[in-house]
Amino acid sequence: TDVTTGEINVATIEREQVKDFINLVSPREILLHPDTVNKISKTRETQEAFENIKNSIPITVVAQQWQGAARGHLEIENTLEKFEGALDMIVGYIKETQGTISSNLTKINVYEKSEYLKIDPNSRKNLELTENATTRQKKNSLFDMLDYSVTSLGKRTLRKWIENPLK
């Protein structure tokens, strides 16, 4: 979810696809339901992947339930009903942490893994898509060369397109 652009991104993914999906969307924070944490801790492989992710991205376990929170702020189409619990959690969490829900929080994107090119982390680094491999700075990256954006929203959109190219 990007509060400034009003976008909410949702997806259905298999347990073994979590790491790839996180590399695809590059989230700043991950919200998890306690039941999801319990499922993760059942196998050693998922526990290890979870620990690796936790070291680089803040993970918040949201125990509070905000049943129906999304319905008051979002128009949920029939095709999105399977995401309603997650959308309730997102809207409730934003309301609790931000104090209010922005009126521009309306666009729901359903990520379909098959629409995006899969680029592994080493390739991302070597291609220098958004940061220079040596200095880890934006300077001399593909993003730096293409970025003539005037607004912050334009910069974020360009970065998203470079990090998640369509097939």
| Stated pTM of the model | 0.63
Residue 45 CB partners (closer than 8 Å, separation 6+): none
Residue 90 CB partners (closer than 8 Å, separation 6+): 1, 8, 31, 70
- DSSP reduced 3-state for 159: helix
**Band of residue 77 on the pLDDT scale cut at 50, 70, 90:** low
Which amino acid is located at 29 in the chain? E
Token pair listed for 50: 């979870």
Q: How high does pLDDT run on average in the chain?
A: 79
Token pair listed for 86: 């997650």
DSSP state of 32: E
